[in-house]
Amino acid sequence: MNIINVEHLYKIYGEKIIFDDASFGIQKGDKIGIVGINGTGKSTLLKMIAGEETPDKGQIIKQNGLKLAYVPQNPVFSEDSTIRSYALKKGEENWKVESNLTELNITRFDQKIEHLSGGQKKRVVLAKILSDDFDVLLLDEPTNHLDEAMIRWLEEYLRSYKGTVIMVTHDRYFLDRVTNRILEISHGKMYGYDSDYSGFLELKAQREEMESASERKRQSVLRMELEWAKRGCRARTTKQRARLERLEQLKNGNTPIKDQTVELDSVETRMGKKTIELHHVSKKYGEKVILDDFSYIVLKNQRLGIIGPNGCGKSTLMKMIAGQVIPDSGNIEIGETIKIGYFAQEEQEMDPSQRVIDYVKDIAEYITTREGKISASALLERFLFTPDMQYAPIGKLSGGEKRRLHLLGVLAENANVLLFDEAGNNLDIPTLTILEDYLNSFSGIVITVSHDRYFLDNIVDRIFELDGKGHIRQFEGGYTDYLNVKKRESASTQFTDKTENSRGNLPKDPAESNPKSWKQNAPQKVKFSYKEQREFETIDDDIAALEERIEKIKMQINANATNSVKLKELFEEQEKVQAQLDEKTERWVYLNEIAEKIGCV
């Protein structure tokens, strides 16, 4: 039995149709994930179910006595409110709220909310809402701004929650682990799938194929009926009249509308020998240490993922690389050929009265792609901005559409280093999927701060974990590889603890009273990864081989001084091998810096 019925819903904003006779039923215990391209009405649907917006036509019928709790995407707080004044109720037992706050690492209840980070604000709202008694929980982008630990906590909470959950999220792993139904919003209609996100992708493909097959059949029958009509039939008999009526119905049939997807394209931009180098960089705010004597040389075409708890300094590190924040000590050197494109976490300040097309033209009238130069208008169409939308003011765009426009602006700069700070916030899943494909073929460096585990697995080849105390630990591979290492370390620690406890009453060294304490307090030791150790052992031979190869090419050049065709081939080969040698030399410098710190040289 349905506890909520969405019936024949119509909603229009200006000239944009959001819902067109859309219907859907929600049953008790459903864990529903709402998906769709930005601007299709996902957040609007949540607001209408919560009673904060009303449809133009149609109705949303709720079971009598149904209690709803709603967490909006961007909660609004009263001025000067503290955690205590917002989350705790006067004169009532607040143990459950306090328990939630503590579990979510919020302990200073007199702190002003305006001083909290985005992730901390989201945790305060969740702690308050989840302490109430409710039957249906409505969540709009619950994982935005939350770190990995908090996302996993929320996953477990929702998996064990017995009530109904309806949420909008772009976190695909989160959808897979929490939902049992997917509601897709597309072109004003709603499509329900009894599956998690992975199953939804398969079921959606089946639905679209069935629609395409029905359309092919309709077109085939329509051609036959039109040929019959052209032969000069006369609608005198009942049978002939019925056939003509069927012809009209076929002509008036609706062609299935397929979702458009963002089209991304890049052109290779030359990158010189020097990329981005961090030398003994330190940064702190008050007593909060962000980085403590950190050095690193970013390699060409490297993909770095930066993770860590909220407030540990991930965005600050990105801003230092982008040149927006200055280190307290040390320096960051940027190569002369490096051009940085920075997709910031904060919503870009845009003039709401400026037309969409003028925003892009301010960056470039024409944008270079692999296919050649295209106009600002053509690029906007690739990013799903129709001609009508292009000449509309930016203020009429949804939050997700503004983020898509900001992304377009960053990519239009033809940068060879892309910095993404929480790209998953407010970008829809189809756009994220296309962005992942783009970045995997991008000829340049990608550095991303992200809590989107799926995005990290698809993009990065090295993880930087910030511990919140100024230290960075490096892990080879994507997020799942990082998680596997952490699990193995946790299992090893537990085994060591059990072994220590099994010693009985034997005399113990004082330091062993807490086996972990000396490890936690000891300075983190820099060390080679397995891959780096192997590379360090062979890199001298690799460099020598490349140098020998260049010498042989030079000898061949001298021997073929009059053969222009052969000379061209040799010079091209020399340039290619020299580039390999330059890259190996940079890597040699980096590996030797580590070797000196750990005493290998």
Residue 499 sits at φ, ψ, to 5 deg, of -65, -45
pTM given for the model: 0.65
CA distance 559 to 563: 9
CA distance 118 to 426: 14
Whether the CB-CB separation of 197 and 172 falls below 8 Å is answered with yes
Model confidence pLDDT, tens digit, residues 505-524: 444 433 333 333 323 333 34
Bin 29: left if φ > 0, else alpha if -120 < ψ < 50, else beta: left
CA distance 593 to 591: 5
CA atoms within 13 A on the CB side of 520: 7
Above 60 in pLDDT, residue 551? yes
Domains in the chain, CATH or no CATH each: 1-200 (3.40.50.300), 274-492 (3.40.50.300), 525-600 (1.10.287)
Predicted pLDDT at 526: 54
Laid out side by side, the sheet with 181-186 consists of 68-71, 136-140, 164-168, 31-35, 181-186, 189-193
Instruction: Please name every residue paired with 599 in a beta bridge, in sequence order, or none if there are none.
Output: none
> Which position has the higher pLDDT, 320 or 551?
320
Q: Which single residue is written with the structure tokens 């010498």? A: 551
- Looking at residues 31-51, what average pLDDT do you find? 91
Distance of CA 560 to the CA centre of its chain: 53
- Give, in degrees to the nearest 5, the angle at Cα 490 between 489 and 496: 90
- Looking at residues 363-385, what average pLDDT do you find? 79
Residue 372 sits at φ, ψ, to 5 deg, of 115, -165
Above 80 in pLDDT, residue 6? yes
Whether the CB-CB separation of 8 and 58 falls below 8 Å is answered with yes
Average pLDDT along the chain: 81
Above 60 in pLDDT, residue 33? yes
Asked which of 154-163, 325-334, 545-554 is least confident by mean pLDDT, the reply is 545-554
Whether the CB-CB separation of 443 and 300 falls below 8 Å is answered with no
Which residues have a Cβ under 8 Å from the Cβ of 388 and sit 6 or more positions away?
A: 15
Model confidence pLDDT, tens digit, residues 467-500: 888 999 999 999 989 988 888 887 777 655 655 5
Laid out side by side, the sheet with 16-27 consists of 16-27, 2-13, 57-62
C-alpha closest to that of 449 among 322, 334, 271? 322
Residue 258, amino acid: K
